[in-house]
């Protein structure tokens, strides 16, 4: 499950996370490296500078949120001294996490050092041990015991940390773009009268946010209003029955719900693609058949989101 989540996150941010178009990323390697990667301006330079040709996570945040992290620029310089460098990186990661939390992100389990490169993490442990009693740096270190992770454990932890950071970025900057302005009007439609309503109140669910529940409401609306039209001449079954869509995994497995969404905006896909779907799939082969048709329909309308069946 985690690997599928990581792949989905990587694909979305590769396609939509950057102002200049697609920017292939790997989690956490490229994000972590591009924050830390630096080059010397000369052999005697006092500071390292990040390669300005590469976008960083700070550029991504500015693109998605329109906000700059306080005190941090995309061309941030890093000190040449290893100790000062790791301290500055820790401050930058702390600022990143503090900024996301101030926007509503939930990241209590992610420490700034979990976003480090492995070598920087090792340096951080040494620096923390040596400087913890130094008054000059006392504000940087917590009063808790030093958390020392083995290399393999740290690799797992930092991959999870970067994945969770990106998921929270999506939660606080992308999902809020979903508007619930017209949702209340959906249930005034005659076809929706017998459909249970999804409560959009913030405290009504501890699983889905109000924005996600708005999307579920729209999925229900388009499926219910289009199912009889899309599959009235179905070649592999009759009109599918009414259903209440309450999640984003099991209820979407057969492809019918997403096909109904596409048909709402691209009705010409009904005759060319959707009439060939199984409306009551039973076997894995039939589920795969439906998903292949759905992906082909997306390709037909140039909806290039790198979906693989």
Q: What is the pLDDT of residues 281-300, one digit of tens each?
A: 999 999 999 999 999 999 99
Which DSSP helix (H) or strand (E) runs through 48? strand 47-49
In angstroms, rounded to a whole number, what is the distance separating the alpha carbons of residues 256 and 286? 12
Instruction: Report the pLDDT value the prediction gives residue 49, as an integer from 0 to 100.
Output: 47
Rounded Cα distance, 208 and 200, in Å: 10
The residues, any chain, with a CB within 8 Å of residue 14's CB and separated by 6 or more, are: 22, 23, 24, 25, 306
Res 45 pLDDT > 50: no
Domain count, the chain: 2
The rounded distance, in Å, linking the Cα atoms of 94 and 140 is 10
Question: Is pLDDT of 89 > 70?
Answer: yes
pLDDT tens per residue, range 2-22: 888 888 899 889 988 888 888
Task: Give the pTM.
Answer: 0.76
Is the domain of 253 the same as that of 133?
no
Q: Which of 176, 200, 235 is the last residue of a domain?
A: 176
**104 pLDDT more than 50:** yes
Q: What's residue 40's pLDDT?
A: 39
Same domain as 22, residue 102: yes
Q: Are residues 156 and 229 in the same domain?
A: no
pLDDT of residue 109: 92
Token pair in block for residue 268: 């010409």
Laid out side by side, the sheet with 77-79 consists of 39-40, 47-49, 77-79
| Position 306 in a domain | no
CA 100/CA 96 separation, integer angstroms = 6
C-alpha distances in Å from residue 132, one per residue of 82, 123, 192: 16, 14, 63
Tell the residue number behind the tokens 């090792």, with chain if given: 122
Q: How far apart are CA 73 and CA 53, in angstroms?
A: 14
Q: What pLDDT shows up at residue 129?
A: 79
Full residue range of the structural domain in which residue 186 is found? 178-300
Average pLDDT, the chain: 82
Measured in whole angstroms, the distance separating CA 241 from the mean position of its chain's CA atoms is: 32
Query: What is the per-residue pLDDT for 230?
Result: 95
Report yes or no on 64 lying in a domain.
Answer: yes
Per-residue pLDDT averaged across 76-83, rounded?
77
Could you tell me the two tokens for 282?
A: 């039973």
Query: 43 or 213: which carries more pLDDT confidence?
Result: 213
pLDDT tens sequence across 202-245: 666 767 888 888 899 889 989 999 999 999 999 998 999 999 89
Cβ atoms within 10 Å of 118's Cβ, excluding its own:
12
Q: What is the pLDDT of residue 72?
A: 77
Our measurement of the distance from residue 34's CA atom to the centroid of its chain's CA atoms, rounded to an integer in Å, reads 19
């Amino acid at each position: 499950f985690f690997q599928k989540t990581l792949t989905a996150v990587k694909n979305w941010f590769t396609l939509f996370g950057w102002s200049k178009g697609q920017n292939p990323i790997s989690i956490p390697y490229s994000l972590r490296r591009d924050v830390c990667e630096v080059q010397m301006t000369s052999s005697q330079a006092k500071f390292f500078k990040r390669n300005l040709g590469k976008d960083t996570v700070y550029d991504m945040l500015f693109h998605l949120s329109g906000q700059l992290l306080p005190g941090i620029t995309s061309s941030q310089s890093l000190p040449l001294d290893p100790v000062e460098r790791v301290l500055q990186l820790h401050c930058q990661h702390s600022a990143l996490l503090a900024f996301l939390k101030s926007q509503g992100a939930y990241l209590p389990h992610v420490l700034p050092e979990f976003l480090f490169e492995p070598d920087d993490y090792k340096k951080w442990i040494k620096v923390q041990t040596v400087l913890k009693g130094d008054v000059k740096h006392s504000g940087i270190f917590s009063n808790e015991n030093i958390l020392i992770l083995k290399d393999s454990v740290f690799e797992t932890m930092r991959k999870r940390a970067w994945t969770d950071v990106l998921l929270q970025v999506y939660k606080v900057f992308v999902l809020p773009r979903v508007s619930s302005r017209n949702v209340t009007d959906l249930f005034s439609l005659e076809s929706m009268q017998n459909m249970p309503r999804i409560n959009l109140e913030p405290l009504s669910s501890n699983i889905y946010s109000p924005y996600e529940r708005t999307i579920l409401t729209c999925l229900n609306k388009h499926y219910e209003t289009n199912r009889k039209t899309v599959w009235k001449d179905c070649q592999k079954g009759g009109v599918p029955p009414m259903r209440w869509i309450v999640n984003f995994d099991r209820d979407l497995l057969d492809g019918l719900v997403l096909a109904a969404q596409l048909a709402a905006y691209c009705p010409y896909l009904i005759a060319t693609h959707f009439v060939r779907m199984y409306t009551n799939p039973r076997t894995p082969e039939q589920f795969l058949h439906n998903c292949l048709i759905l992906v082909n329909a997306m390709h037909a309308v140039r909806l290039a989101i790198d979906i693989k069946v």
